[in-house]
Copies of this chain bind each other. A is one copy, B any other.
Amino acid sequence: MNDFTYCLPTNFVFGKSKETETGAYVKMYGGTKVLIHYGGGSVKRSGLLDRVKASLEEEGISYVELGGVKPNPRDGLVYEGIELCRKEGVDFILAVGGGSTIDSSKAIAVGTLYQGDFWDFYAGKLPVSEALPVGAVLTIAAAGSESSTSSVITQESTLTKTSIKTTKVRPKFAIMNPGLTETLPPYQTASGATDICAHVLERYFTNTPEVEVTDRLCEAILLTMIREVPRVLEDPHNYEARANIMWAGTLAHNDTCGVGRQQDWATHHLEHTISALIDCAHGAGLAVMFPAWMKYNYKHDVARFVRLAVNVWGCEENTDDPEETALAGIACWENFFRSIGMPVRLSELGVTEAEIPKLLELLGGDDHLEGNFVVLDKKACEEIYRLAL
C-alpha cells in the first residue's frame, strides 16, 4: 500500500426531503448571498427549485439564479456566472443538479475570486489558491462531484475538456435525496451508473501491490451497482435501489476505495475527447471505452482481471487458462453495459473510423501519454479507439 493523506470534510445530508434543509446548511457554512446554479427545466418542473428557494428564504438568505448548465459543461456559462457573482456580491455557490452543474459551480467559485481568466487554472497555468464555498443539492447519481475535489469544463472554442483538482472546490455539504433521481430517464440513470462503475474501475486497475482492503471496497461498490441498477431500470420509483446507487456513487469518487493505490484514468481521458467532440453522455462514452481499454490491456496483469471476473461477476476461475477467465469478466462488463441500455461501440454513438484522428488530436500532442496501469502512447490509444469501433 502506498502512503497517503485523506481528509473528506464534506457534510453529507442523505435521505427523503432533505432539500428542504438546504438553507440551514448554507447558513452553517457562512453563505449570505447565494448563486443558485442549475441546468434545464426539470428542476423547475419538479418543484425542486422552489423548495430550495423556500428553504433559503426561511433562513433569510438572498439569492440570484443562473440556469442553463448542459452536460459536458462549457466555459461560456462559467464566464457568465463569474460576472453575475461579482456584480451581485455572491458569497456562496449552490449547485442544484448533477455533476455538470456542480463542476460548473466549482469553476464559478474559483473564477469569481480570481482577477484573470478562470481558464488559466484549467489550462494548468497556476494552482487554485482560493474559491467561494460550494454546496450541492444532488439530482443524479453519477459524477461524484458532490464530494470530489475535481471539476471538468469544456472550452467551447477548442473543444478542449480539462479539469482542475483541488480541495478548495470540494463542496461543504451535499444534500442527497435519492427520491430526486426517480424522474430521470432510463438512459441518464444508466449513464450515471456507468460513470460510477468507471470511477471504481479506474482505481481498481493498479500496479500497487497489497491493497486488499481497497480492492475489496472497490468490489463491494461494483457488486452493489450490478445488483441495483437493473432494479431501478425495472422500477424507476424504487427508492431503496436509488438510495444504494446514490451512496455508491459518492463512495466511488471520494477516494474511499482509492487511497494508497496508484490509479489509472486513461479511459476517462479517452472518453472526454468523445463527449467533447459529439456531446454524448459521459457515461455512454465510458460504456464504449472501458471494455475496449480492458481488451487492450488485460495481458498486463491477467490475475487482476481474473480477480475482478471472479469476485464481482462470479465467473468460475479457469486455472489452466486464466486469460479465458479474464476475457469472460470483460464480456460480463460489455453485456452489463448493453443490458442497461448503454452503447458499447463507437458506431452506436455515431463515431466512425474517420473521426479517430480528431479524437487523438483532442487527446494531446504526439508525445502525449495516458494512464498508469499501462502507460499508453498515441499509437496505443489509437488501437483502443479502433477496438471500440
Residues in chain A within 8 A of chain B (CB atoms) = 1-16, 18, 178, 209-214, 216-217, 219-221, 223-224, 227-228, 240-241, 243-244, 247-248, 251, 256, 259-260
A8 touches B8 (CB 8 A): yes
B10 touches A247 (CB 8 A): no
A243 touches B14 (CB 8 A): no
Min Cβ gap A144→B in Å is 14
Min Cβ gap A30→B in Å is 16
A12 partner residues in chain B, CB cutoff 8 A: 4-7
7 pairs, A vs B, C-beta closer than 8 Å = A14-B260, A210-B240, A213-B221, A213-B244, A213-B248, A216-B219, A217-B251
B244 touches A210 (CB 8 A): yes
Alpha-carbon distance A1/B211, docked complex (angstroms): 29
Alpha-carbon distance A3/B178, docked complex (angstroms): 10
A259 touches B247 (CB 8 A): yes
A227 touches B212 (CB 8 A): yes
B213 touches A1 (CB 8 A): no
Min Cβ gap A375→B in Å is 24
Alpha-carbon distance A149/B271, docked complex (angstroms): 42
Min Cβ gap A149→B in Å is 14
Alpha-carbon distance A224/B311, docked complex (angstroms): 13
A212 partner residues in chain B, CB cutoff 8 A: 224, 227-228, 244
A227 partner residues in chain B, CB cutoff 8 A: 212
A248 partner residues in chain B, CB cutoff 8 A: 213
B209 touches A213 (CB 8 A): no
A213 partner residues in chain B, CB cutoff 8 A: 220-221, 224, 228, 244, 247-248, 251
Alpha-carbon distance A248/B228, docked complex (angstroms): 25
Which of B5, B6, B220, B260 is within 8 Å of A219, CB to CB?
A: B220
Which of A178, A214, A259 has the largest count of B CB atoms less than 10 A from its CB? A214
A220 partner residues in chain B, CB cutoff 8 A: 213, 216-217, 219-220
A2 partner residues in chain B, CB cutoff 8 A: 15
Known contacts A219-B220, A221-B216; A260/B247 CB under 8 A:
yes
B6 touches A14 (CB 8 A): yes
Which of B3, B209, B223, B247 is within 8 Å of A16, CB to CB?
A: B3
Q: Taking CB as reference atom, which chain B residue is nearest A219?
A: B220
